[in-house]
Amino acid sequence: MQAVTFTGHGDTDVIEYAEVPDPDVGPEDVLIDVKAGALNHLDVWTRRGLPGLDLELPHVPGSDAAGVVVDTGEAVTRFEEGDRVALSAGVSCGECEFCRRGEYPLCVSYHVIGEHVPGVHAEYAAVPQDNLIPVPEGVDWVTAGSTTLVFQTAWRMLIDRADLSAGESVLVLGASGGVGHAALQIAAHAGAEVYATGSSEEKLRYAEAHGADHVVDYEEENFADWVRTETGKRGVDVVVDYIGAGTWRDSIRSLAKGGRLVTCGGTAGPNPETDIPRIFWNQLTILGSTMATPGQVDDVMELVWDGTFEPAVREVLPMSETDRAHALLEGREGFGKVVVRPDSELE
């Protein structure tokens, strides 16, 4: 079969669309005929080489995909041939103290399909049955293959970790990104007043169309100054910041007293300077978040399937052009997700 691979870490020139062996189907695995998958910044970091990440190379990336079940392992009970499914990429042991209390993303052996183990950007993928969710008839493959990771991540960040309530205010940084545009919709759905940042007029208009009440071009104006002006120097209740080093101090400065900053990553750097006095004087809370529990995945994806939440897709490309897809993410071009489909699906 054909799959996206890289044999070493580096720039986009390490990416190939090449012939690889068909996947082995274990007893608990489901074999999927992949129809579409989406890229996330996680794919860029994995390709570049995350510190401490020891991958078996060549590596097949991809933590988002959807397709049709074509075979099942002997112990599979949840799916059968012909079912429509999408990937939920977080893998937990189900047995440690965190899993026993339902906090699966805190699992001591938690890992992510596509990051720590082979991913799903291929013609076929073998996936543990517990990492698949049903896709209703009528949901198109681009939607099904591009929403699970970012919407579950943003849902857990805002609804679970930040405990967002109707009437509160939220600032979403990087509103044109995958997690960002999901967070906009979730915050608006929760009844919050939504502030958002972007780097172009096009991105700001998209942000408004996806739930933002107030927008600012962060390249033209300091977003913390803007937030404090817009809120009468109060600040917002919650900041969603997955940017990291370049925004951290201003994210903290944007918070109201008692506010919460929630983060799931650091696309611009993992080690920011921080403002400790402001954190303790203003009684701020810093919250980390990763992926979601199975129940949270079900809750948010139900709202995707019924059209309440809608993914923005900036481009759909053949998997043979995955290098270009990576370049689109790294260049911050456009709004929303970049989707890749097996070349055989586009013939």
Domain ranges of the chain: 2-147+311-346, 151-288
Closest CA relative to residue 340, chosen from 316, 311, 324, 308 = 316
270 pLDDT band, cuts 50/70/90, is confident
145 pLDDT band, cuts 50/70/90, is very high
pLDDT in the model for residue 272: 85
- Please state, as a whole number, how many other Cβ atoms lie within 10 Å of the Cβ of residue 81: 11
251 pLDDT band, cuts 50/70/90, is very high
Average pLDDT, the chain: 94
Is pLDDT of 160 > 90? yes
Angle between helices 294-305 and 148-155 (to 10 degrees): 120
Angle between helices 322-330 and 41-48 (to 10 degrees): 100
Q: Which two tokens stand for residue 172?
A: 């979403």
Percent of the chain with pLDDT over 70: 100
- Please state, as a whole number, how many other Cβ atoms lie within 10 Å of the Cβ of residue 52: 5
pLDDT in the model for residue 341: 98
Across the range 229-238, mean pLDDT stands at 98
Strands 124-128 and 169-172: unpaired
pLDDT in the model for residue 148: 97
pTM of the model: 0.95
Pick the range with the lowest mean pLDDT from 77-81, 105-109, 123-127, 335-339. Answer: 335-339
Do 2-147+311-346 and 151-288 come out as alike in CATH topology?
no
CB 55 within 8 A of CB 46: yes
Superfamily holding 2-147+311-346 = Medium-chain alcohol dehydrogenases, catalytic domain (3.90.180.10)
pLDDT in the model for residue 177: 87
Residue 215, classed as helix, strand or coil, is strand
Across the range 76-91, mean pLDDT stands at 97
Q: Which two tokens stand for residue 253?
A: 């400065």
Percent of the chain with pLDDT over 90: 84
49 pLDDT band, cuts 50/70/90, is confident
pLDDT in the model for residue 150: 96
pLDDT in the model for residue 301: 98
Superfamily holding 151-288 = NAD(P)-binding Rossmann-like Domain (3.40.50.720)
